[in-house]
Amino acid sequence: MSGPLHTIALDLGGTDLKVARVTRDGALLDFACVPSRAAESAQALLGTLVGAARERLPAAALGIGCPGVIEPASGALVDETPHLALPKDFALAAQLAGELGVAVAADNDANCAAYGEHFAGAARGARVSVTITVGTGIGCGIVVDGRVLRGAWGGAGEISHMGQRSSGPRCKCGVEGCAETTSGGEGLTHRAQAAGLAVGSARDVFDRAAGGDAIARRLIAEMTDALGHQIAAVVQVVNPDVLVIGGGVAQAGDTLRVPVVAALHRYAQHSHTARLRVVPAELGNKAGVVGAGLMAWERVEVR
């Protein structure tokens, strides 16, 4: 094979930017995590992205995972995204391609994580896989026969903003009662604080529950039941053979996974769960980088 033997992968978050070179089989080279400056300004954020990528040129292509809905054909943001200082319709892929002189594949960060787990992680060998990431919010990526299910304009899998009730806490997206407010890590933290617990993160709530705090245990039971209900809806619609559960909050292990899987089995039909394999994420916080890098390879190979 001629030309560079790696792509560049960027996984953009509200606080950090993960970056690496990625080989064709998904191996990471010189992985790094740097401040993203995502909330400062579009210029500051773009400068961070370009700087991190330029250090790793030459490359066959670049892949980037970004929160929000990304239009598949153009790689532009469909709408504004909380925590990112990028306007609606920001041409993310085109801007990076112009600055760096390489082909760019841009996609939603959960889609990138799902792609990474499907080809190089816990869902290897699956025909249809769903990857759920439980962190500040909830991410969902779906891969069918080796291709990410993106929908008409990139919005498939956005379960974090599925309405769960007619009224409830107002989500940052502007909708009341989003799944994220009941099942995400930030939502759990806010509910714990409202219940009088002195906590600063979802991990604090899980630690309190492990120590026997009755309020923390109740809140986690409510969260895992709601999350299992949301995942059951995805399982009913998509019918995957592998379900991957990952993300920062998922590092709580069986404390999260066992009740979520139990709720999934309560709310989904036996026909959809009997042969479903539920596994923890294998790539950890590097899934998005691996997936973005592999998407960049796909971009080169289908041109």
CA distance 182 to 143: 26
At residue 165, the pLDDT reads 59
Fold assignment, 122-281: Nucleotidyltransferase; domain 5 (3.30.420)
202-241 pLDDT per residue, tens = 999 999 999 999 999 999 999 999 999 999 999 999 999 9
At residue 26, the pLDDT reads 96
Length of the chain: 303
Would you state the structure tokens that stand for residue 234, as one six-digit string? 């995805």
Q: Is the pLDDT of residue 51 over 80?
A: yes
Q: What percentage of the chain carries pLDDT values higher than 70?
A: 94
At residue 167, the pLDDT reads 58
Would you state the structure tokens that stand for residue 10, as one six-digit string? 């960027």
At residue 85, the pLDDT reads 87
CA distance 103 to 97: 6
Q: Residue 175 corresponds to which amino acid?
A: V
CA distance 24 to 163: 39
Q: Is the pLDDT of residue 178 over 80?
A: no
Q: Residue 291's beta-bridge partner residues?
A: none
Which residue has 């950090």 as its token pair? 16
Q: Is the pLDDT of residue 303 over 50?
A: no
Q: Is the pLDDT of residue 117 over 80?
A: yes
The Cβ of residue 17 has, within 10 Å, a number of other Cβ atoms equal to 23
Query: Taking Cα atoms as reference points, which of 143, 89, 134, 79 lies closest to residue 111?
Result: 143
What would the mean pLDDT of 120-135 be, rounded to a whole number? 96
Q: Is the pLDDT of residue 88 over 50?
A: yes
Asked whether the CA dihedral 240, 242, 248, 251 is positive or negative, the reply is: positive
The Cβ of residue 226 has, within 10 Å, a number of other Cβ atoms equal to 20
Q: What residues have CB less than 8 Å from 137, skipping those under 6 apart?
A: 160, 180, 184, 185, 186
At residue 163, the pLDDT reads 67
What is the DSSP pairing of strand 128-134 with strand 242-246?
Answer: parallel
> Which residue ranges does the chain devote to CATH 3.30.420.40?
7-109+285-302, 122-281
φ and ψ at 78, to 5 degrees?
Answer: -75, -30
CA distance 113 to 120: 10
Residue 45 class from Cβ within 10 Å (0-12 exposed, 13-18 middle, 19+ buried)? buried
Domain at 7-109+285-302, CATH class: alpha beta
